[in-house]
Amino acid sequence: MHKVMLIILFSFMLSQFRDVPDIVTKVGTAAAPFLKLETGIREIGMAGAQAASGFGITALPYNPAAIGFVKDQELFFNKTNYLAGISHNVFGFAQRLNSTDVAGIHIFYLDSGSMARTDYGGEQDGTFKVYDLAVRASYSRTLTDRLKVGFTAKYFREDIDNMYLQGFAADIGSNFDTGIYGFVLGMSVTNFGPEVRFKGDGLGNYNYSQGFVEDYEYDTQFFPLPMTFRLGIQNRIIGNDETSLIKSRLTRLDIAFDGIKSIDYTVYGCFGLEYAWNEMAFLRLGTHFEHDTQGASLGLGFNYNGISFDYALVQYGILGSTGQFGIKLEL
């Protein structure tokens, strides 16, 4: 019976990636797309397949239930030199409150670097920057020895020169250990919230013929947030757990697969694996399916006495690749 249930579940997940030619991607139809950026170096090395396999503060943006695995305290920071001169910084902290509850905070900040500002005539008129900020406050509870749930409330803001948008959103998620041949199921819904629009002085109307700014603003359109649904499955093929397919005291091999659907993109997927030796040295691989920019990833990690150093190399198709580095402390 257990095998039948797993076959049905896996078949359902694969069915979400059928080719439907009349579906359009809807790219650019949602506000604050930076809320979908993959963060966390372990997670990036596994191509973001974290709905079921994520654990700890670094996986909080993928599934808030992930912080339920924090043993005591976790602190992490990573700085990434992204594409086209863009950089972003991430900071997170999680604290176990008691045997069942964990709270955490996650801060994401992105800086685009300087870009040329032009006037209506196409002439350069100084420079400007784009800044993105997301602050997440999360709570996770262990309901049973196999089921964890989590909730995140977040504030976000995007500044483009002298225009901005801001708002609030929420995430929910769960992590369920089936106890069947090492399979774990995960689910999350992220970026659920009201529509937002840009405001600011930059929306004043410039009268080019008269050479002055008229005393009113454009009435900008409201756009939805990039609400995203994740359904994931993980299997511990090698490990010391009772449900692992192959028993080993020193090595661990996890594989994970996520199906993802956001309101501004078609259904796509990601696959990742993590091989660990003595929970000290780690090798991670991952790739995306049916995504136009994100491709393969490679990750390495080293942990000693609760201090983790992680590195990920990510390929973004014609945009090139980036190397990303992070540090996590288990206190």
Rounded to an integer, what distance in angstroms lies between the CA atom of residue 17 and that of residue 121? Answer: 46
Rounded to 5 degrees, φ, ψ at 304 are -140, 120
Rounded to an integer, what distance in angstroms lies between the CA atom of residue 31 and that of residue 47? Answer: 23
| Least confident residue range of 2-6, 153-157, 183-187, 288-292 | 2-6
Residue 252 has which token pair? Answer: 């661990």
| Whether residue 18 has pLDDT greater than 70 | no
pLDDT level of residue 220 (50, 70, 90 thresholds): confident
| Least confident residue range of 33-47, 88-102, 255-269, 309-323 | 309-323
- End-to-end alpha carbon distance in the chain: 42
What is the model's pLDDT at position 241? 83
Higher pLDDT, 50 or 162: 50
Percent of the chain surpassing pLDDT 70: 87
Domains of the chain from N-terminus onward: 2-330 (2.40.160.40)
Question: How many residues are present in the chain?
Answer: 331
Higher pLDDT, 76 or 243: 76
User: What value does the mean pLDDT of the chain take?
Assistant: 86
Average pLDDT of span 75-90? 85
121-149 pLDDT, tens digit each: 777 878 888 999 999 999 999 999 999 99
Residue 106: its H or E element: strand 101-111
Average pLDDT of span 251-266? 93
Rounded to an integer, what distance in angstroms lies between the CA atom of residue 69 and that of residue 66? Answer: 6
pLDDT level of residue 150 (50, 70, 90 thresholds): very high
Average pLDDT of span 285-314? 90
Rounded to 5 degrees, φ, ψ at 246 are -120, 125
Rounded to an integer, what distance in angstroms lies between the CA atom of residue 52 and that of residue 229? Answer: 13
Residue 329 has which token pair? Answer: 């402390």
Which residues, in sequence order, are CB contacts of 61 under 8 Å at separation 6+? 39, 40, 106, 108, 136, 171, 190
pLDDT level of residue 70 (50, 70, 90 thresholds): very high
Q: Considering only CA atoms, which of 11, 331, 45, 167 is closest in space to residue 54?
A: 45
Higher pLDDT, 13 or 75: 75
The single-letter DSSP state of residue 305 is T
Higher pLDDT, 268 or 121: 268
Q: Considering only CA atoms, which of 56, 321, 320, 49 is closest in space to residue 312?
A: 321
Higher pLDDT, 194 or 202: 194
| Whether residue 206 has pLDDT greater than 60 | no
Average pLDDT of span 288-298? 83
Rounded to an integer, what distance in angstroms lies between the CA atom of residue 158 and that of residue 85? Answer: 17
pLDDT level of residue 79 (50, 70, 90 thresholds): confident
| Whether residue 9 has pLDDT greater than 50 | no
